[in-house]
Structure 1
Amino acid sequence: MVDVVTEIEIRRPRVAVAAYAANPENAPAWYSNIKAVRWETAPAMALGSKVAFRAQFLGKSLEYVYEFTELDPGRKLVMRTAQGPFPMQTTYTWTEAAGGSTRMTLRNTGTPPGFPAVVNLVMAPMMRRAMRKDLAKLKSLLEGGGSQATQEKTQRKDKS
């Protein structure tokens, strides 16, 4: 069993961080391993919605479908693999932090089949490094270190 939790504080309002991070179409912009995203159901954030991801991890191309299993807009999102190489659950939570910032927590849990416990000891630190890097990229994008188009899109969401 792999269970990895990382978090970061982002100097943006909770609703803005959650709106951007929860939108699967934004995943390739901040997840280094995700190369493509495609809706399997109508593109709407709802319980039961499914999204297909194509990713690169440990030198291998992975394709998997996540299903939204818990959704509290602006506060929590839980996705579980409906199809893919191994069962995985990803949880995002967003809480308000000092000065109008947001604390985002990213948690991945799963049990890769055919991987002995010793490999899991190696896999968890690799996942943790990748997740920290991804959250740092998200922070950079949302705090203004990203492209102008991303900044403008995020600013528009703040106003709505």
Structure 2
Amino acid sequence: MVDVQTEILIQRPREIVASYASNPDNAPVWYVNIRSAQWQTPKPLAVGSRVAFTARFLGRNLDYVYEFTELVPGEKLTMRTSQGPFPMRTTYTWSDENGATRMTLRNTGEPSGFSALAGILMAPMMRTAMRKDLENLKKILEAG
């Protein structure tokens, strides 16, 4: 089991942070490893929406589809991959904190086979990438 969580305080209102972060079209802008996001279902984002992402990780392109399984606008978003050797669940949560927004990013997964060993090795790299992602998001939103 891989379970990596990180959080950051962004000096912007929760509605702005949540709206920007929950829009898959913005993912390639603030995620270090995501190269593209392509909707497989009609917009807007809703439970059941599917988005195909291409990411670059460990020198390889990874293609995967996230299905959005929970959406509480401004509070929580959960998405999961349904295929591939490393099924992953990603959760965003947002809360108010002294006029700013605390955003938490959590990735959990149940790798199987060879990926189980890779999962142990990947957790520290995932944590580093997730911190960079949230730092990018903070810079973008606090500049705007």
TM-score by length of 1: 0.86
Residues 1:73 and 2:73 aligned together? yes
Kept in 1, the 8 Å contact 2:86–2:115? The answer is no
Query: Which residue in 2 is equivalent to 1:138?
Result: 137
The CA deviation string for residues 127-149 of structure 1, in whole angstroms up to 9 with x for no partner, is: 000000000000000000xxxxx
For 1:84 and 1:27, the matched residues in 2 are separated by 20
Aligned counterparts of 1:65 and 1:117: Cα–Cα separation in 2: 20
1:121 aligns with 2:120: yes
Q: Any unmatched runs of 5+ in structure 1?
A: 145-150, 152-160
Is residue 96 from structure 1 mapped to residue 96 from structure 2 by the alignment?
Answer: yes
Cα distance, 1:114 vs structure 2: 2.5
Q: Secondary structure at the match of 1:83?
A: coil
**CA deviations over 1:51-73 (Å, ceiling 9, x no partner):** 00000111111000101100000
Structure whose alpha-carbon radius of gyration is higher:
1
Counterparts of 1:70 and 1:45 in 2: how far apart (Å)?
11
Secondary structure in 2 matching 1:139 = helix
Unpaired runs of 5+ in structure 2? Answer: none
- 1:117 CA displacement: 5.2
Aligned-residue offset at 1:44: 1.3
Q: What is the CA deviation profile of residues 43-95 of structure 1, one whole-angstrom value per residue up to 9, with x for unaligned ones?
A: 21111010000001111110001011000000000001133442100000000
- Structure 2 match to 1:33: 33
CA contact (8 A) 1:37 1:53 kept: yes
- How big is the alpha-carbon RMSD for the aligned residues of Structure 1 and Structure 2? 1.3
Residues 93, 105 of structure 2: 8 Å contact kept: yes
| Number of residue-to-residue matches in the alignment | 144
TM-score scaled by length of structure 2:
0.95
- 8 A contact 1:18–1:73 mirrored in 2: yes
Asked if the contact 2:5–2:104 (Cα under 8 Å) also holds between the matched residues in 1, the reply is yes
Shift of 1:123: 1.1
- What is the alpha-carbon distance in structure 2 between the residues aligned to residue 12 and residue 51 of structure 1? 27
2:110–2:116 CA contact under 8 A, matched in 1: no
Quick check: 1:10–1:103 contact (8 Å CA) kept in 2?
A: yes
Are 1:64 and 1:85, in contact at CA under 8 Å, matched by a contact in 2?
no
Identical-pair percentage: 65
